[in-house]
Amino acid sequence: MKLVLIGDIHLYTLRVPLRRLLSRRAMAHANLLLNRRHHFNHGLLPAVIERARLLKPDHVLFSGDVSTSSLESEFQDFLDHARPLLEAAPCTLVPGNHDRYTFRSRRVRRIETLLGGLLPEGFPHVRALRPGWTLLALDSAVPNRFVSRGALGRAQLRRALEAIGAVPPDQALLVLCHYPCSLPDDVPSPWSRSLKEARALERALAACPGRVVYLHGHIHRPWRAATTEGGAAFECINAGAPCQIGTAWPLGQGFWEINLPDDPQGQLKTRHHALHPGPGHPSGQAVAADASRADGTDPPRAGRGPVEGRWRVGAGP
């Protein structure tokens, strides 16, 4: 079974009415104007979506933070961009903290309303993906006044722990949650940006009778790493931010292809797809990602003009 995992897209809207900035959104917007917009090129997104679609995945997983401050326009922009992929395969999305950024966005259930078909109807969401493989999707996104901390809440955590404990030894559990519950040693974990119940979740996953693969986003850097907790190990895959550009990932951090083996204890084959500067595809056809709009306006998508790249596929960072 082939899965695609896509992380923090963070579409944004530059022109926001003043009245809508009278909330925590003001913090996100200040960060957007001063910082974030210089590190994201959403002109890359069509190429990412098309690449994922061409892989013909059996299921697509979005690990959240598709928006920046939970505006309607940002969710609509996500739907517009992702539509070719959403129409090609079943998709499951868990919210990120930026998708429930303001208290009002939670009160009016904005993401549930606008992306309703992609979010499970309730959390924790448990479903069979294929024989031997179960998906456990968690909702860790809560608005905060000053920090970016996530929380599952007591009821969700209790039911998640029950689901984790119920996995038979010869089966596997795939967890999808925006926040990580365990980090590589070289990644800092500030209290203000972490999941409140991370330790409890990590302990339960390490004690799970079956195999565990934990998929998440939130930290904008892709990786695949094993974690050890109490001698037991499970694997974590961080999605990365496909439109975030920087020195290591000049054309975005790409996305993951994850192939679930028939045998739940078999080898998990992953491939990381990322665009790198180059004259074009191996086929000779260049990817052109032009972020500018036909009418000359920049919001809600931003970018840095046309770029060309070549897809590189590897075992992953």
Catalog residues that contact Fe ion under the rule CB under 5 A.
8, 65, 96-97, 218
Q: How far is the CB of 64 from Fe ion (least distance, A)?
A: 7
Secondary structure class of 24 (helix, strand, coil): coil
Nearer to Fe ion, 65 or 74 (CB): 65
What is the signed CA dihedral for 216, 222, 228, 232, rounded to 10 degrees? 60
Closest CA to 270 of 221, 216, 315, 234: 315
Nearer to Fe ion, 161 or 239 (CB): 239
Q: How far is the CB of 10 from Fe ion (least distance, A)?
A: 6
Q: Residue 314 corresponds to which tokens in the numbers above?
A: 């590897």
- For residues 122 and 163, is the Cβ–Cβ distance under 8 A? no
Sign of the C-alpha dihedral computed for residues 29, 31, 32 and 33 taken in this order = positive
Nearer to Fe ion, 97 or 182 (CB): 97
Cα angle: 310, vertex 314, 317; to 5 degrees: 110
Q: How far is the CB of 283 from Fe ion (least distance, A)?
A: 32
Nearer to Fe ion, 96 or 316 (CB): 96
**Rounded-to-integer distance, Cα 239 and Cα 216, Å:** 6
Nearer to Fe ion, 23 or 97 (CB): 97
Q: How far is the CB of 30 from Fe ion (least distance, A)?
A: 16
Q: How far is the CB of 314 from Fe ion (least distance, A)?
A: 23
The alpha-carbon radius of gyration of the chain (Å, integer) is 19
